[in-house]
Amino acid sequence: MNIQLLTPQDWKDYELIDSGNFEKLERFGRYITARPEPQAIWNKSLSDDEWNRQATAYFRKDKRNEERGEWITRPSMPQQWFINYNYKEMHLRMRLGLTSFKHVGLFPEQAENWNFIYDQVKKIGTSARVLNLFAYTGGASLAARSAGADVTHVDSVKPVITWARENMEASGIDGIRWIVDDALKFARREVKRGKKYNGIILDPPAYGRGPEGEKWILEENLNELLGLCRQLLEPRNSFLVLNLYSMGLSAMLARTTVHQLVGECTGENFGELFFTDSYGKSLPLGVYYRFWR
């Protein structure tokens, strides 16, 4: 039983240039962003002047609201642009944008999970049914659909669903089922309907709100959701992916919780997702647990 550290390889459109002083300097395609990163507790390798010189967009926090802020951009920086990701026969094209929450519409470290999802669906075949909860802008949904799966994509934010649909169309894919709903409520209804899936992808936030104000608190609601996943997941030819971004939660915690509530598996891996910057500093960006059976 070994914890595995995973970092996406050979992604030409993404690069972690530098990190430190609670920030990260990243290249997405042609453009370079500087934004907060709470886990980059070490010192920067480059000077502040060099960061300012390289960055085409720099995120500044709002002193009155730590969750929001604004982007300071150069004239050459667009509000939206596209990048590509390729793996085997999977060719994804995703739109990025500058949001007031510091995000750009993509978590690059998740590319390792996209590869896993693509490979698992290929093993199961085109009859595979995949449920993606807290699905955001759809990288995992696109990976599953690229491999031939019947995909149900669930997120509580309608504009994010629209963004995911744009990514699907830009990638030359179609046929994903879009659901604007609270993930927990949708899973409960799917259990009542007797639905079954070959793959379930969970990317829950620490805290969130559903479309009707439903409150999601990870530590309070995750057990119920995983119990529902046990009922939704096929006992054979199936897989599960769980990501946890909350600081202080470990991969071992994810593994133990899934084993208790979803059941045993024939294979698994778990650990941390990370990128190493150009100066050798490895930045952890979340924990994952994946199993297949």
Q: Tokens 């995909």 identify what position?
A: 151
Q: How far apart are CA 203 and CA 96, in angstroms?
A: 19
The alpha carbon of 11 is separated from its chain's Cα centroid by a whole number of angstroms, namely 16
pLDDT of residue 217: 85
Q: How far apart are CA 265 and CA 201, in angstroms?
A: 16
- pLDDT bin (cut points 50, 70, 90) of residue 284 is very high
45-81 pLDDT, tens digit per residue, is: 999 999 999 999 999 988 787 779 999 999 999 999 9
Q: How far apart are CA 281 and CA 293, in angstroms?
A: 35
- pLDDT bin (cut points 50, 70, 90) of residue 1 is low
Tokens standing for 66?
């730590």
- pLDDT bin (cut points 50, 70, 90) of residue 212 is confident
- pLDDT bin (cut points 50, 70, 90) of residue 208 is confident
Residue 257 has pLDDT above 90, yes or no: yes
Q: How far apart are CA 56 and CA 17, in angstroms?
A: 13
- pLDDT bin (cut points 50, 70, 90) of residue 247 is low
Q: What is the mean pLDDT of the chain?
A: 95
φ, ψ for residue 76, nearest 5 deg: -80, -10
- Interior angle at CA 94, CA 88 and CA 95, nearest 5: 165
Non-local CB neighbours of 277 within 8 Å, separated by 6+ positions:
16, 17, 18, 19, 24, 25, 45, 283
Tokens standing for 4?
């595995």
Residue 216 has pLDDT above 80, yes or no: yes
Predicted TM-score (pTM) of this structure: 0.96
With a pLDDT cut of 90, the percent of the chain lying above it is: 87
Q: Tokens 């070959």 identify what position?
A: 198
